[in-house]
Amino acid sequence: MTESKRDLRSKFIGALLGTAVGDALGAPLEGWSSERITRVYGDAGRLALVEGRYSDDTEQMIGVAESLLIIKGFDGADMARTLVQNMNPKRGYGPGSRAAFERLRAGERWDEAAQHLFGGMGSYGNGAAMRIAPIGLLYHDNPKKLREVAYRSSQITHTHELGKEGAALQAFAIALAVRNEREEMQPQLEAFVQQDVFKQKLRRMERLLRTEASSGEVIAELGNGMAAFDSVPTAIYSFLRFEDFEHSVDFAIRLGGDTDTIGAMTGAICGAYYGAQAIPSDWLAQLEDGEKGKRYIQRLAEELFDITVKKEL
């Protein structure tokens, strides 16, 4: 294997394991404020991964990867079936996604079940964005297809335009990270994204990066909540602000709020940029390794790499 292929393979593994590590690190702190995290853990050093158990973010990311691999591309019915089959409610699913999966289980069509949620508006939660890494990897060199598949995969649970756009934005950030396009990432994302709320946050990000903003400013300007527009830009910012995996992910989680999900999305972008070897070994050592644990996740990433380089799509 050439060096560039080896690097690419490591980026694929990094993005999927980065999702799981960020998720597991943030999961015990989900819903905490930034101040509470500082009070309990101090502000020196980095957070330790103690439990190593991942949540719904990683469980759904695994389902997305499994379906892409079986189909060698996207099939909405198969992906919905896989997500439903994999669902373990103990992993802590969002209320909208739970309702969509119940409707799917009852036999509704994959592209209709989630339309009824939130009074017919559909969900703009970050649930479609947090599981998107495999799509960002598989279509990293095809932004048009990436957007189309990101939107369609979101349709399973998140039919609101802003839920879909958040997923496409996160997928494109991962794609640019795979392509080493870090310097140009912010303007490229701003040009790519179609919804104003995301464009505005990407513009604010430029200033926040120039001034090394405080955590309070980042939370006020970009958000740390469960809506896609309050979390995807925050994850991208956390990646761009630092020069390594651990500082970005540690910073993202210390913002509080939706810690597991912002941690998972930051971990995905960082892993896609720096590669698997950049994930701190103590964090990786603690990550769960059961039936669908870290070795399984690594295998999924390797298989995604194989079908991507073989251009079987």
Q: Which stretch binds ligand F2R (CB under 6 A): 136-144, 210-218, 255-263, 290-298?
A: 255-263
Q: Which of these, 117, 138, 84, 94, lies nearest to 261 by C-alpha position?
A: 94
Judged by CB under 6 A, which stretch of 46-54, 73-81, 119-127, 213-221 contacts ligand F2R?
A: 119-127
Determine if 121 is a binding residue for ligand F2R (CB under 6 A).
Answer: yes
Q: Does 92 bind ligand F2R (CB under 6 A)?
A: yes
Residue 253 CA to its chain's centroid (Å): 13
Q: Which of residues 44-63 bind ligand F2R (CB under 6 A)?
A: 55-57
Lay out the site mask for ligand F2R across 136-155 (x = CB under 6 A, - = otherwise): --------------------
* Cβ contact 265:232 at 8 Å: yes
Smallest gap from residue 187 Cβ to ligand F2R (A): 28
Quick check: 273 and 12 in contact, CB under 8 A? no
Only one of the segments 60-68, 70-78, 100-108, 255-263 lies at the binding site for Mg ion (rule: CB under 5 A); that segment is 255-263
Q: Which does 227 bind (CB under 5 to 8 A by kind): Mg ion, ligand F2R, none?
A: ligand F2R
x/- mask, ligand F2R, residues 261-300, rule CB under 6 A, reads x---------------------------------------
The angle at the Cα of 115, spanning 110 to 121, to the nearest 5 degrees, equals 155
**Of the listed pieces 90-98, 172-180, 209-217, 240-248, which binds ligand F2R according to CB under 6 A?**
90-98
Position 19 contacts ligand F2R (CB under 6 A)? no
Phi, psi at 94, each rounded to 5°: -65, 150
Q: Which is nearer to ligand F2R, 230 or 275 (CB)?
A: 230
User: 124 is in the binding site of which of ligand F2R, Mg ion, none (Cβ under 5 to 8 A by kind)?
Assistant: ligand F2R
Do the beta carbons of residue 19 and residue 267 sit within 8 Å? yes
CA dihedral sign of residues 62, 63, 69, 74: negative
- Residue 223: phi and psi, rounded to 5, are 100, 165
Question: Shortest Cβ distance from residue 56 to ligand F2R (Å)?
Answer: 5
In this chain, which residue has its C-beta nearest to Mg ion?
261
Closest CA to 265 of 199, 178, 170: 170
- Count of residues making up the chain: 313
DSSP SS3 for 95: helix
How many residues at the interface with ligand F2R, by CB under 6 A? 23
String of contacts with Mg ion for each residue 256-295, x by CB under 5 A: --x-xx----------------------------------
DSSP 12-78: HHHHHHHHHHHHHHHGGGTT-BHHHHHHHH-SSS-----S----HHHHHHHHHHHHHHHHTS--HHH
CB 67 within 8 A of CB 79: yes
Options 116-124, 141-149, 170-178, 265-273: segment touching ligand F2R (CB under 6 A) = 116-124
34 binds Mg ion (CB under 5 A): no
Q: Is the dihedral of CA 186, 189, 191, 193 positive or negative?
A: negative
Residue 137 identity: L
Binding to ligand F2R by CB under 6 A, coded x per residue (else -) over 210-229, reads: ----------------xx--
Residue in the structure block whose two tokens are 């992910």: 249
Q: Which residues bind Mg ion (CB under 5 A)?
A: 258, 260-261
Q: Which residues bind ligand F2R (CB under 6 A)?
A: 30, 55-57, 92-97, 118, 121, 123-127, 160, 226-227, 258, 260-261
